[in-house]
């Protein structure tokens, strides 16, 4: 096979994205919080779904594990986002790597988390499509892990690394193979604070695509964590684009860390340099003192609507704190605007 193999899904997505701004879902975590689940609920004790995997460690807060222990609840959240207007929903697999699951002793569950995570999202999308006939897509969500390959966590030992490129490549490879096995339509590498972690994820994706015999569309989303407009590993949006453009992603963009207002100049910068589609999904404003997000649907939507009015975006959605109401408001706010025109490749 060649890496340029385009699946029917890729063609369908490209055609839809040519016609209108597509909608990504909102925050899974915020929706899970409202369920008020206990340790027993997380671990699956007493529910109809006994986890096939076992760990001695507490599981409360292991949101990804709910794929196995509370699958109906996870499916319902996906379904609600789809009915609010999402064309693409993300699997609940942000931390479903051996590296991130080590915190919970759930490394053995990684394949099932990803495969079932994709299947559950697909089920929810098919239910929504049966109601309104709109095509919908499952993006396999790949998070940054809780370790960083290009910086030392120890200020006294700047040469130390808690994780290597190959550790990440292997862990991401397992995750992506699980997502593909479960039927993910695309892969979304998101909340990238360290570009080296993302490069390991991209490399792992291409290894998995090679085995699978087809390239899934890739969405790549960085996060600006610094007031000076850089990622944690020190890149501006332009530098970030040049570091990942070799992956020929379906979209590049930004998510998390900032609300829409603060994200705007960084999305504008990316839109000015990237010769691919732009995806933006900000948080519902900045967190308050309790780490909660107060920005209401109308406020987030009016700011994201401005991205669209200025012709900066092709796909929009929400990150932390965004609910189905936010997604519905965002979908309504951008509906009247044409998607950003794909810029021609700029000569280097
Ligand atoms: Zn976020």
Distance 186 CA to ligand 1 centre (A): 20
pLDDT for 291: 86
Distance 140 CA to ligand 1 centre (A): 16
Alpha carbon distance 321, 302 (integer Å): 16
Alpha carbon distance 135, 250 (integer Å): 18
Distance 196 CA to ligand 1 centre (A): 20
**Dmax over Cα atoms in the chain, in whole Å?**
60
Burial code (b: 16+ CB inside 10 Å, e: under 16) for 55-89 equals: beeebeebbbbbbbbbbebbbbbbbbbbbbbbbbb
Alpha carbon distance 39, 50 (integer Å): 13
Distance 319 CA to ligand 1 centre (A): 4
Distance 5 CA to ligand 1 centre (A): 32
Around ion ligand 1, which residues have CB less than 5 A away? 256, 283, 319-320
Distance 126 CA to ligand 1 centre (A): 26
Find out whether 51 is annotated in a ligand binding site: no
Q: What is the CA radius of gyration of the chain?
A: 19
Distance 261 CA to ligand 1 centre (A): 14
278-312 per-position pLDDT tens digit: 999 999 999 899 888 999 999 999 999 999 999 99
Around Cβ 290, how many Cβ atoms within 10 Å? 6
Q: Is the pTM of this model over 0.85?
A: yes
To the nearest 5 percent, what fractions of the chain are helix, strand and coil?
A: 45, 15, 40
Q: How far is C-alpha 336 from the chain's CA centre?
A: 25
Distance 4 CA to ligand 1 centre (A): 31
Supply the DSSP string of 222-247, one letter for each residue: E---STTS--TTS--HHHHHHHHGGG
Distance 67 CA to ligand 1 centre (A): 20
Distance 185 CA to ligand 1 centre (A): 22
pLDDT for 1: 41
| CATH class, range 8-334 | alpha beta
Give Cα separations from 295 to 26, 222, 227, 304 (angstroms): 13, 22, 20, 13
Say what the alpha-carbon torsion angle 125, 129, 134, 140 is, to the nearest 10 degrees.
10
According to DSSP, the residues that pair with 88 across neighbouring strands are 24, 137
According to DSSP, the residues that pair with 140 across neighbouring strands are 187
pLDDT for 55: 87
Q: Name residues whose C-beta falls within 8 Å of residue 41's C-beta, 6 or more positions apart in sequence.
A: 35, 47, 69, 70
Alpha carbon distance 262, 173 (integer Å): 33
Selection from 228, 317, 335 nearest residue 279 by Cα = 317
Alpha carbon distance 31, 337 (integer Å): 29
Distance 256 CA to ligand 1 centre (A): 3
Alpha carbon distance 318, 123 (integer Å): 22
Distance 296 CA to ligand 1 centre (A): 15
pLDDT for 342: 85
Supply the DSSP string of 133-191, one letter for each residue: ----EEEEEE---S--SSS-S-TT-TT--SS-HHHHHHHHHHHHHHHHHTT-SEEEEEE
Alpha carbon distance 230, 190 (integer Å): 16
Distance 231 CA to ligand 1 centre (A): 14
The pLDDT tens digits along the chain (348 residues) read 444 445 788 899 999 999 999 999 999 999 999 999 999 999 987 555 666 788 889 999 999 999 999 999 999 999 999 999 999 999 999 999 999 999 999 999 999 999 999 999 999 999 999 999 999 999 999 999 999 998 888 889 989 998 999 999 999 999 999 999 999 999 999 999 999 999 999 999 999 999 999 999 999 999 998 888 999 888 999 999 999 999 999 999 999 988 999 999 999 999 999 999 999 999 999 989 988 899 999 999 999 999 999 999 999 999 999 999 999 999 999 999 999 998 665 544
Alpha carbon distance 170, 153 (integer Å): 21
> Do 164 and 223 touch, CB atoms closer than 8 A?
no
Q: Name residues whose C-beta falls within 8 Å of residue 2's C-beta, 6 or more positions apart in sequence.
A: none
Using the structure block, give the residue that is written with the tokens 């909660």.
292
């Amino acid at each position: 096979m060649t890496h340029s193999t385009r699946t029917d899904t890729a063609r369908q997505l490209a055609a839809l994205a040519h016609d209108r701004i597509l909608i990504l879902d909102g925050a899974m975590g915020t929706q899970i919080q409202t369920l008020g689940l206990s340790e027993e609920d997380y671990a699956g004790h007493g529910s109809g779904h006994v986890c096939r995997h076992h760990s001695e460690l507490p599981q409360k807060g292991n949101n990804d594990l709910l794929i196995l222990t509370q699958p109906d609840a996870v499916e319902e959240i996906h379904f609600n986002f789809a009915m609010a207007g999402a064309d693409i929903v993300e699997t609940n697999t942000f931390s479903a790597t051996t590296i991130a699951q080590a915190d919970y002793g759930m490394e053995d569950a990684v394949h099932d988390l990803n495969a079932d995570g994709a299947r559950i999202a697909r089920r929810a999308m098919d239910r929504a499509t049966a109601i309104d006939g709109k095509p919908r897509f499952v993006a396999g969500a790949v998070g940054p892990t809780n370790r960083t390959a290009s910086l030392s966590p120890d200020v006294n030992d700047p040469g130390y690394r808690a994780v290597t490129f190959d550790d990440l490549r292997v862990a991401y490879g397992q995750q992506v193979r699980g997502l593909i096995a479960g039927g993910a339509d695309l892969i979304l590498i998101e909340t990238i604070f360290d570009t080296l972690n993302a490069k390991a994820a991209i490399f792992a994706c291409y290894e998995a695509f090679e085995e699978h015999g087809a390239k899934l569309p890739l969405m790549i989303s960085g996060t600006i964590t610094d007031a000076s407009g850089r990622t944690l590993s020190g890149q501006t949006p332009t530098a970030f684009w040049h570091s990942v453009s070799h992956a020929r992603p379906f979209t590049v963009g930004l998510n998390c860390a900032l609300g829409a207002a603060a994200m705007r100049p960084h999305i504008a910068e990316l839109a000015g340099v990237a010769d691919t589609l732009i995806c933006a999904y900000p948080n519902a404003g900045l967190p308050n003192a309790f780490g909660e997000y107060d920005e209401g649907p109308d406020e987030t939507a009016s700011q994201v609507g401005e991205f669209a009015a200025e012709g900066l975006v092709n796909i929009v959605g929400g990150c932390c704190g965004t609910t189905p109401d936010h997604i519905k408001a965002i979908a309504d706010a951008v509906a009247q605007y044409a998607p950003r025109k794909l810029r021609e490749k700029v000569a280097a």
